[in-house]
Amino acid sequence: MISDKDQFYMQQAIELAKLGRFTTPPNPNVGCVIVKDDHIIGEGYHQKAGEPHAEVYALIMAGNKAQGATAYVTLEPCSHFGRTPPCADALIKAGITRVVVAMQDPNPSVAGNGIKRLRDAGIEVIVGVLYEQAEAINKGFLKCMRTGIPYVQLKLASSLDGKIAMASGESKWITSSTARQDVQQYRAQASCILSTRATVQADNASLTVRYNELPNEIRKIYPPENIRQPVRVIIDSQNRLTGDENIFSQLGETWIVRKQNIPIIKPNTKLIIESSDQNYIDLVELLKELGKNQINSVWVEAGAHLAGALIEQDLVDELIIYYAPKLLGHNAKDLCVLPNLKKLSLAPQFQFESVKAIGDDLKIILKRK
Amino acid sequence: MISDKDQFYMQQAIELAKLGRFTTPPNPNVGCVIVKDDHIIGEGYHQKAGEPHAEVYALIMAGNKAQGATAYVTLEPCSHFGRTPPCADALIKAGITRVVVAMQDPNPSVAGNGIKRLRDAGIEVIVGVLYEQAEAINKGFLKCMRTGIPYVQLKLASSLDGKIAMASGESKWITSSTARQDVQQYRAQASCILSTRATVQADNASLTVRYNELPNEIRKIYPPENIRQPVRVIIDSQNRLTGDENIFSQLGETWIVRKQNIPIIKPNTKLIIESSDQNYIDLVELLKELGKNQINSVWVEAGAHLAGALIEQDLVDELIIYYAPKLLGHNAKDLCVLPNLKKLSLAPQFQFESVKAIGDDLKIILKRK
């Protein structure tokens, strides 16, 4: 039976899980709380691939008291030997008698086996407490496990009238510095930043996470060494990047996407050959390839063409638009290019998910409808 | 001294004032509450020009008990003989000993005289309780009294990327029926709806308030006879309206704005000649003329050209944008035409005032910055 207490402790486990969000990729965020006689006796969260899972930290903290206790875990405990031994076994060994799990792990090497293993050992297992929240903290991991395609977030910064630059190209800055700080934290959570040769060359952009520009509340908790640089994935179908662009001298990896085997010889730089028959880069093939390379979540910062192509092919899971409270008029540059759209009834549809004031701007998040 | 009680009762008076919002134009919304020994003994609000003021209704309800009571009024009681005798005198005569007023009346025939009259009669008068709310319920009346120019609300219905129609002109419908219902209630509160010949002819629009399409919560309170038809003001600088358009056979008045004395002979139809030197209609002159004609508030429903011209000339007090959660792409038609804007730093600036979900859409209200 699920009680209010179960929800309460699972909420604690979810808050713990979130603490790992900048470091766990490609692994999922997982939190664990161990409770005995209405007291939390153990807490843990997964911090980084290769390091112990949430359950292990919580069990170490609980020690002998774990005997007869309840464990709350945001994701089904693993049942396989990966880089660490199976958590299900650790829970059994510690004498845990009840396990509450928010959701089953879609990873085919777990997929119910962890739960089965616990039940076979006589442990009471409850599944589904705060399921939706548990889904929300691992959108990338879960989608990629289920479909092989990463979770795609498209970020746009726009005027009220859907413009991203003046006719002259002038675009610094439409949104406020607060909005641009907000963007930094999305970058920091993503597996990769997807952009194009045009954007990289136009701004000579670095596409890195700049620690100093992260919001204060993030910097308070995370020291610089806890912030990863997501992979920069740059579409360059015409082989026009030279290797001299800023992007190649930044920390972290840069992956160049081309149709042919023409690599750029630079440190931490890799070529992805997208060899489908079309002349242009096949975005579905590219996303599948990224999924195979443990890229669970893609943060897109690009111009109107890539934005439009992703939308037209229905590849965007989440649209994040920062609206600045200004108007740029009909001569300014459009938010997205949708060359094939002729009828209003066929317009790509989303649904509003949340709205938040960010400095002088408004951040609107939409999901695919 | 202002007490919490004063604020509480003034809040009641403001709620009463709002009840008149569909019928009072060109008069202001005013509410009045009379309180004695912590009991409300009288309530009233102004319903319609020519009918008694709020204070009169409240005094009638209070009767003899008004002796020694406190009156809360959202706007300074009048001191002049208009269509009704001065309310200040009525309050004095009834034996009210304390009057709490939210704000002074900017009407030059009142402008502090009502307050002075009360004080001269030995009544304690307190001014400024819930001032901001009192301003907000009479934005049109107050601005027009102070400046001679009506309060201008520009309504836009847009896709996420700032488009108002497909390239083909198809625009029915970008926003949901819920959003269109919401528009009806703004129309019903305005002194006039401002539009253009192009919009009228493109849709053969009626530009009326359709009672059946008002939100339910409005229809619950107001019977059809309490809903006015705002004046329809149509800019027709090229004299292209024929008189056969739908708009001329609707209830309520239609005013046609032309440069020359070429009237349209139809019932309830009037010509406004805007005779400034330019070839086009001078919008400032037009707004002043409307102000002189007791149009306190202007609700604009028009295309990208009039919207852009009003914005470029800084004539929009409030921007009300309904965003539908869809994208129409670069070929679709733009929200506003701003031919003179060349630099990002000169882009018209607003500030977000409120955001509300309306059906599947989002209503965003912005004020001039």
According to the model, what pLDDT value does residue B278 have? 85
**Which pLDDT score is estimated for A329?**
98
Chain B residue with minimum CA distance to A334: B330
CB contact set of A282 (below 8 Å; sequence gap of 6+):
A274, A276
**Bridge partners, B126 (sequence order):** B100
- Cα(B279)–Cα(B129) distance, integer angstroms: 48
Residues of B in contact with A313 (CB under 8 A): none
* Local structure of residue A246 (DSSP, 8 states): G
> Taking CB atoms and an 8 Å cutoff, what residues of chain A touch B168?
342
Determine whether the interchain pair B364/A362 forms a contact, defined as Cβ–Cβ distance below 8 Å: yes
Nearest to A305 by CA among A233, A191, A199, A226: A199
Which residues of B belong to the active site?
55
**In angstroms, what separates the C-alpha of B155 from chain A's closest C-alpha?**
13
CA distance B166 to chain A (A): 7
- Rounded CA-CA distance B73/A145 in Å is 65
Q: Which of B168, B174, B329 sits opposite A338 (nearest CB)?
A: B329
List the single residue in A304, A327, A344 with the smallest CB-CB distance to B330: A304
**Phi/psi of residue A309, each to 5°?**
-65, -45
- Residues B307, B167 contacting (CB under 8 angstroms): no
Contact across the interface for B304 and A337, Cβ inside 8 Å: no
State the smallest CA–CA distance between residue B346 and chain A in angstroms: 9
Q: Which residues of B touch A326 (CB under 8 A)?
A: 347-350
Q: Judge contact between A48 and A24, C-beta under 8 A.
A: yes
Q: What residues pair up with A234 in beta bridges, in sequence order?
A: A195, A256
In chain A, the N- to C-terminal Cα span, in Å, equals: 34
* Distance to chain A for B358, nearest Cα, Å: 11
CB A191 within 8 A of CB A150: yes
Which regions of chain A are under pLDDT 50?
Answer: none
Is B308 marked as a binding-site residue?
A: yes
The reply to whether residue A325 touches residue B160, judged by beta carbons under 8 angstroms, is no
Q: What pLDDT is recorded for position B208?
A: 96
Output the pLDDT for position A139: 97
Of B152, B158, B193, B184, nearest in space to B336 by CA: B158
Q: Do B326 and A341 touch (CB under 8 A)?
A: no
The 10 Å Cβ neighbour count of residue B6 is 18
- d(C-alpha A51, C-alpha A62), whole Å: 19
Interface touch B355/A350, C-beta < 8 Å: no
CB A322 within 8 A of CB A357: no
Q: CA of B195, closest CA in chain A: separation in Å? A: 19
Query: Among B163, B318, B319, B327, which would you mutate to test the A interface (most chain A Cβ atoms within 10 Å of its Cβ)?
Result: B327
pLDDT in tens, A185-231: 999 999 999 999 999 998 899 999 999 999 888 999 999 988 999 99
Cα dihedral value B162, B167, B168, B169, nearest 10: 30
Residue of A nearest to B338 (CA): A329
Q: Is B205 annotated as a binding residue?
A: no
A-B interface: how many C-beta pairs under 8 angstroms? 151
Minimal C-alpha gap between A185 and chain B (Å): 23
C-alpha–C-alpha distance, residues A368 and A216, integer Å:
31
- Parallel/antiparallel/unpaired status of strands A31-36 and A39-45: antiparallel
- Residue B74 backbone phi and psi in degrees, to 5: -75, -15
A32 is in an annotated binding site: no
Task: Compute mean pLDDT per 10 residues along chain B, 369 residues long, and list them.
Answer: 90 97 94 97 93 93 96 94 85 96 92 94 96 97 97 98 96 94 95 97 92 92 92 97 96 96 95 90 97 97 96 98 98 97 97 97 96
Does A199 appear as a known binding residue?
A: yes
Between helices B54-62 and B4-18, what is the axis angle to 10°?
A: 110
For residue B300, the distance in angstroms to the closest alpha carbon of chain A comes to 17
Judge: A335–B162 Cβ closer than 8 Å, yes or no.
yes
Contact residues on chain A for B161, CB-CB shorter than 8 A: 158, 162, 334-336
- For A365, the closest chain B residue by CA position comes to B325
Rounded to whole angstroms, the Cα distance separating A225 from B186 reads 54
Alpha helices in A282-363 (DSSP H): 283-292, 304-312
Q: Do B366 and A161 touch (CB under 8 A)?
A: no
B330, B338, B355, best to mutate vs chain A, most A CBs in 10 Å: B330
B162, B326, B330 member nearest A350 (Cβ): B326
DSSP count for chain A of H helices, then E strands: 11, 16
Interface contact B350-A172, CB threshold 8 A: no
Q: Which member of A15, A43, A51, A55 is catalytic?
A: A55
User: Measured between beta carbons, which residues in chain A are less than 8 angstroms from residue B367?
Assistant: none
Q: In B122-211, where does DSSP find H-type helix?
A: 131-136, 139-147, 177-189, 197-203
Nearest to B336 among A168, A327, A350 (CB): A327
Complete domains list, chain B, with CATH: 4-137 (3.40.140.10), 142-368 (3.40.430.10)
Best mutation site among A154, A158, A305, A327 for testing chain B: the one with the most B CBs within 10 Å?
A: A327
DSSP string, A23-82: T-TTSPP-EEEEEETTEEEEEEE--STTSPPHHHHHHHHHGGGGTT-EEEESS----S-S
Residue with tokens 């930094």: A184
ipTM of the complex: 0.92
Which residue of B329, B336, B351 is in closest CB contact with A161? B336
Contact (CB<8Å) B352/A362: yes
Residue B1's pLDDT is 67
- Is A50 labeled as ligand-binding? no
Is B9 within 8 Å of B43 (Cβ atoms)?
A: no
pLDDT at residue A39 in the model = 97
The residue of chain A nearest to residue B167, with distances taken between CA atoms, is: A342
The response to whether A308 counts as a known ligand-binding position is: yes
Q: Which residue of A has its CA nearest to B171?
A: A344
Using CA atoms of B187, B188, B190, B194 in order, give the dihedral in degrees to the nearest 10: 40
Contact B347 A159 (CB under 8 A): yes
The nearest alpha carbon in chain A to B355 belongs to A355
Give the gyration radius of chain B's Cα atoms: 22
pLDDT at residue A16, as a whole number: 97
Answer whether A326 sits within 8 Å of B348, measured CB to CB.
Answer: yes
B321 → chain A, closest CA residue: A160
Interface touch B174/A344, C-beta < 8 Å: yes
**E strand segments, A237-317:** 254-258, 269-273, 297-300
